Amino acid sequence: MTTGQATTEGLTLPSYERPVGVHPPLDTPEYRSTLLRSPKRAPVRLPHGLTEVTGPLLGAERVTAGDADLTSRHASEPLGERMILTGRVLDSDGRPVPDTLIEIWQANASGRYAHGVDDHPAPLDPNFDGAGRCMTDSLGRYRFVTIKPGAYPWKNHLNAWRPQHIHFSLFGRAFTQRLVTQMYFPGDPLFAQDPIFNSVPDPRARERLICQFDLEVTEPEWALGYRWDIVLRGREATVFERASERGEHQ
């Protein structure tokens, strides 16, 4: 399979699919912070050139042993419900995305972030900073050990509360695949009033932000297990790949 070659007419490069109806509209007035921050003009379509089909291949130098276990980085264990969170990073063709950096951050069990801007009057936990990192393995798998984050109030509207969530940042293998998102927990009663969760227009796409409880991942006498797969943009087949599938070329 040839992913590209230089020609006098330019370069033969992969293209990445352009998602329609998956991501939230930037202008979502129910989430008040969008009002002054969302661009008003239509974006200009950018062809996928070399800068877009490549991307930082940040490696293991960004991760140290223990970064994937948010419960073991301090003098004692944090308070809260210990949990294992595992899954795979795939592209939309179902291919694993190996060796890619995942960064997460979250509130502690009482719904407080270890950040100076967070003024929620819930206790900080000296044994929890809420940041984690890991690399996917050769099959695109990742695994974190953490505690379940608490829900917390915010000032978006009267009596506004964020559902329990963990923030995720992923690079994939190309600039086009960069994704920052939030993972939620099954059955959260706060979904209905959360404008960030509901900013995703398609209810089926919204469901893909929710992890699943998994008894197979759960470790007896130790921690609950959750599973969440993340799907990044896949490639459109190139002319060469399509021809190859028809058996016209080698």
Partner 1 sequence: MTLGLTPSQTVGPFLAIGLPWPDGPDVVDLATPGAITISGRVLDGAGEPVPDALVETWQAAPDGSFAHPDDPRGGGDPHFRGFGRSATDTAGRYNIVTLRPGPFPGRDGGTEAPHLDVSVLARGLLDRVVTRIYFADEEAANAADPVLATVDPARRGTLIATPEPGGQAGRFRFDIRLQDPQETVFFDV
Point out the residues that are catalytic. Answer: 113, 152, 162, 165, 167
Site for partner 1 in 61-120 (CB under 8 A): 62, 90-94, 103-105, 113-115, 117-118
CB 183 within 8 A of CB 211: yes
Contact range with partner 1 by CB under 8 A, out of 78-86, 218-226, 227-235, 242-250:
227-235
Residue number, 149 or 225, with CB nearest to partner 1: 149
Residue number, 82 or 162, with CB nearest to partner 1: 162
At its nearest, how many Å lie between partner 1 and the CB of residue 12?
Answer: 7
Query: Which of 73, 120, 143, 167 is in the footprint of partner 1 by CB under 8 A?
Result: 167
- Strand 82-91 to strand 141-147: parallel, antiparallel, or no bridges (unpaired)? antiparallel
Contact range with partner 1 by CB under 8 A, out of 6-14, 119-127, 185-193, 211-219:
6-14
Q: Which residues contact 81 (CB under 8 A, 6 or more apart)?
A: 109, 147, 148, 224
Q: Which residues contact 167 (CB under 8 A, 6 or more apart)?
A: 104, 105, 106, 180, 181, 182
Local structure of 243: helix, strand or coil: helix
Q: Which residues contact 213 (CB under 8 A, 6 or more apart)?
A: 186, 224, 225, 226
> Does 212 contact partner 1 by CB under 8 A?
no
Query: Which of 122, 124, 199, 227 is in the footprint of partner 1 by CB under 8 A?
Result: 199
Beta bridge partners of 106: 166
Residue number, 2 or 219, with CB nearest to partner 1: 2
- Strand 165-170 to strand 15-16: parallel, antiparallel, or no bridges (unpaired)? unpaired
The closest of 156, 164, 209 to 31, measured between CA atoms, is 156
CB 197 within 8 A of CB 214: no
> Does 1 contact partner 1 by CB under 8 A?
no
Query: Which of 204, 220, 221, 247 is in the footprint of partner 1 by CB under 8 A?
Result: 204
Residue number, 34 or 218, with CB nearest to partner 1: 34
> Does 35 contact partner 1 by CB under 8 A?
yes
CB 240 within 8 A of CB 12: yes
> Does 247 contact partner 1 by CB under 8 A?
no
Contact range with partner 1 by CB under 8 A, out of 76-84, 138-146, 173-181, 211-219:
173-181
The closest of 148, 132, 147 to 65, measured between CA atoms, is 132
